Structure formats: structure tokens, C-alpha cells
A and B are shown apart, each in its own frame.
Chain A
Amino acid sequence: GESVGLHLPTLSVQEGDNSIINCAYSNSASDYFIWYKQESGKGPQFIIDIRSNMDKRQGQRVTVLLNKTVKHLSLQIAATQPGDSAVYFCAEGMGGSYIPTFGRGTSLIVHP
């Protein structure tokens, strides 16, 4: 079936670097996308979202880019900090009121 997937299972960066986490989705009907952060032993935590009528959205130190042509989503984290170390999931949904469908996740490791 259609699903959300991630290109890189693990990403290691140095503190202060910018990080880019990628996600491919295959359901062309999805119109809402979210990035979650999950720290060890905790539940997923909302980071940022974007609707399909946008191609970029910025938050505090984070930016989400959406390329609907190639069904690609990315999360950019500026000046990555050790506290950013976690697993990051993209999730998709559709129809306005939806239930998030998660991908496999990317583990981000930030070295001090």
C-alpha cells in the first residue's frame, strides 16, 4: 500500500552544523504533513507542520520544505544542538481532519 518512507535511517552531525532530514511519500492524496521528534523513552512530539498548498514553512530553528512534484519532504534544523539528538518522523494525512500516518524514522545524532 501507499506509505511514508525515509531515505536515511541515521544522520550524524557536529554541534552547530545544519541538519537536513529527508522523507519521501507516495500518497498523492495527502495534503497535510508533520514532523515529529521522538526522544528515547518518550512519545513523539510535534515539531512543525505544512499543508500541501505551501512549499515552505519556518519555525524556530526549523524549516520544512515540501516538493509535491517529486513527493518529497525535508526538515532542516539550523545550528543543531546535542538536545536535538532524537528520532525524527515525518507523518502524512489528508482530508482536513485526519489520523497521522508515520514513516520509519531517521535517527539524528549530534556530536558535541
Chain B
Amino acid sequence: GAGVSQSPRYKVAKRGQDVALRCDPISGHVSLFWYQQALGQGPEFLTYFQNEAQLDKSGLPSDRFFAERPEGSVSTLKIQRTQQEDSAVYLCASSPQGAIGNTIYFGEGSWLTVV
């Protein structure tokens, strides 16, 4: 079956531009996660959904970052007024149940470059 799908795979944004990154989780997966991965670093947690409920958004770095999952399936991560430090890979992951490590599947990421 299909894995976690993210789009766009690559995005170049001018500083100050708004961007939207989409995540299609594995069908039926209840939990959805967003991570930010800077070059040469490990993924940093951003936010977590269980169905449509955003249970944890403690990792969002500023109020320019916003995530939603209105129908409990597809999720969008929106970054307003992008800045150069937002350049990173944004990883989405999903899980059929709670946040249990061996059931979390990651997408290939959306590579954002802010120029």
C-alpha cells in the first residue's frame, strides 16, 4: 500500500512568502506528526494530531507556524512570512494508533529553501 506522501517535495520561497506543505498519511492512521529537520541534525518535533485534534503543538517555533488536520486525514503545515532559518526538511509521519515508535511511518519530507 501507499506510504506517507508529502508535497511539494521541494519548495523554494522568497523571504516573507507564505508556504503550505501537505501531508497525506497512510489511510486509516489516527496519529499524525510533523517534524523539522535542519541539515546535519536530527528531526525536531513540531506538532502532533490524533484524528483532527491537535494534542501537542509545543514544538512549533513561532506563531508563524500553523498546522491543521480538519477532517482527521490530510494535514497542512503552513509557515507565514518565511525566514531563512525556516530552511529545512519538514517530515510528516503517521501511526495507526498512539505515538508508539515502532508503528510510526515517515514520509520523504518536503525540502524548503528560503532565499
Taking beta carbons and an 8 Å cutoff, which residues of A are in contact with B?
4, 32, 34, 41-46, 49, 89, 91, 93, 97-105
User: How many residue pairs, one in A and one in B, have C-beta atoms under 8 Å apart?
Assistant: 57
Instruction: Give the interface centre of A4, A89, A91, A99 by most chain B CB atoms within 10 Å.
Output: A99
Taking beta carbons and an 8 Å cutoff, which residues of B are in contact with A?
4, 33, 35, 40-45, 48, 56, 91, 93, 98-102, 104-109
Given A102-B44, A103-B42; A43-B91 close (CB under 8 Å): yes
| A residues less than 8 Å from B101 (CB atoms) | 32, 34, 46, 49, 91, 93, 98, 100
Q: Can you list 19 A-B pairs with a CB-CB distance of less than 8 A? A: A4-B42, A43-B4, A43-B107, A43-B109, A44-B91, A46-B104, A49-B101, A89-B43, A91-B42, A91-B101, A97-B100, A98-B99, A99-B45, A99-B56, A100-B45, A102-B35, A104-B40, A104-B41, A105-B40
